[in-house]
Amino acid sequence: MDHAATTFMKPEVLAAMAPYFSRYFGNPSSFYRFARESRKGVEEARGAVGAALGASTDEIFFTAGGSEADNWAIKGVALANRERGDHIITSAIEHHAVLHTCEWLEKQGFSVTYLPVDEFGRVDPGDVEDAITDKTILVSVMMANNEIGTVQPVAEIGKVAHDHGVLFHTDAVQAIGAVPIDVDAMGIDLLSLSGHKFYGPKGTGALYIRRGTRVENLVHGGGQERGRRAGTENVPGIVGLGRAIALATADIEGHNRRIAGMRDRLVRGVLDAIPDARANGHPTERLANNANFSFRYVEGESILLLLDARGICASTGSACSSGSSEPSHVLLAIGLSHEEAHGSLRLTLGDANTEEDVDHLLEVLPDVIGRLRQISPLTPISARMPEAD
């Protein structure tokens, strides 16, 4: 139940990739006919990505993943538009691929506004507007959050940015196959995505760049990707990403209905069975597959370990599991205390999950939390089971 971390690769995706490892191993840049199949595979994938976003094929550039796409979008816009301004607006709950990139740009002399979010994790488009100055060159707000699943009012934010002549980038890594996307209707100038979040291969991604947008190159070298991103193409990976995005966006609504049904039963079941628990994120504006809880008096890593021992994979925003000293910046940004952030648990459903998995989770989790509360010094006596000797 950790599909937000990564997904398995669909058999259809693997099958689509297979010929490009050995049979069609040609370099798409080569002149001879043999390379034609590789080139065709890459261009078909580009078409599939464009179709999924409502974009043109020539606005899609393949990268080695979501992090590279985020880095390229933000650094590329910053460096290419420096004479116009040096101010970037983003949110406090972005993925580190965005936040650390912005922090790096601050060291290069740019100034960055990190907008707060409300208790549900939403950015207020009004705050975006208020933060825009005549030095602002870019607004970067993610489409959906990877920890708490909150979906942002992207179209409103895009409109605000465009009203002020500012470029708008969105990290849509978690949104592909979950949120219907139309880059024109949503006012998006740049969009990042990553193959391994929608049943495609790891280490593959893409950046959408609206035609005419000024973006400096990040990876210099050969003339691949129309001179915008150097490096011999990861042909099988790109083919796999193309197949995966076509599958993931074929029936978003149907997929969401099935997943949200399971998720809602899971959330209700957990909150009914476990006292002193809260669900984090937005009640309705959220990814269909995401459930995020805080359980008081217990620590997230120990929850994960006991769940793992019972065959359930999950994730937490606790610092103890990441080895860093601060718990999740997202959970702190929505106003959770350190203790609540430490006691967080993220469950993200996907195509591999069934109603039986939900049953199993509902059977195991109350026991796990109960056992850890038995151990914790923070648990009030009233919330503790009688001590066994």
Partner 1 sequence: MYTEKVMEEITNPQNVGEIADADAVGEVGSPACGDIMRIYLKVEGDRITDARFRTFGCGAAIASSSMATRMIRGMSLAEAWAVSNADVVEALGALPLAKVHCSVLARDAIRAAINDCRTRRGLEPWEVRSSGCDGETGHGPGPENG
Ligand X SMILES: Cc1ncc(COP(=O)(O)O)c(C=O)c1O
Catalytic residues: 320
Closer residue to ligand X in complex, CB, 97/112: 97
According to the binding rule CB under 8 A, does residue 366 interact with partner 1?
Answer: no
Exposure string for 80-95, b = 16+ CB within 10 A, e = fewer? bbeeebbbbbbbbbbb
According to the binding rule CB under 6 A, does residue 67 interact with ligand X?
Answer: yes
Stretch of residues binding ligand X (CB under 6 A), selected from 159-167, 171-179, 259-267, 341-349: 171-179
According to the binding rule CB under 6 A, does residue 146 interact with ligand X?
Answer: yes
Q: By CB under 6 A, name the one of 3, 46, 87, 95 that touches ligand X.
A: 95
292: which strand partners?
346
Closer residue to partner 1 in complex, CB, 305/352: 305
According to the binding rule CB under 6 A, does residue 290 interact with ligand X?
Answer: no
Q: By CB under 6 A, name the one of 174, 224, 290, 315 that touches ligand X.
A: 174
According to the binding rule CB under 6 A, does residue 93 interact with ligand X?
Answer: no
CB of 295 vs partner 1, minimal distance in Å? 12
Residue 306, SS3 per DSSP: helix
As given in the structure block, the two tokens for residue 218 are 């990040």
What is the secondary structure of 209-277 as a DSSP string? E-TT-----SS-SS-HHHHTS-S---HHHHHHHHHHHHHHTSSHHHHHHHHHHHHHHHHHHHHHH-SSE
Stretch of residues binding partner 1 (CB under 8 A), selected from 121-129, 214-222, 335-343, 348-356: 335-343
Calculate the CA dihedral of residues 358, 348, 281, 117 and round it to 10 degrees.
180
Residue 134 in contact with residue 164, Cβ under 8 Å?
no
Alpha-carbon distance of 71 to 68, in angstroms, equals 5
Q: By CB under 8 A, name the one of 250, 305, 352, 385 that touches partner 1.
A: 305
Residue 350 in contact with residue 244, Cβ under 8 Å?
no
Judged by the rule CB under 6 A, the positions of this chain that interact with ligand X are: 65-67, 70, 95, 97, 142, 146, 171, 173-174, 194, 205
Judged by the rule CB under 8 A, the positions of this chain that interact with partner 1 are: 297-299, 301-302, 305-306, 309, 318-321, 323, 325, 327, 337-339, 342, 374-378, 387
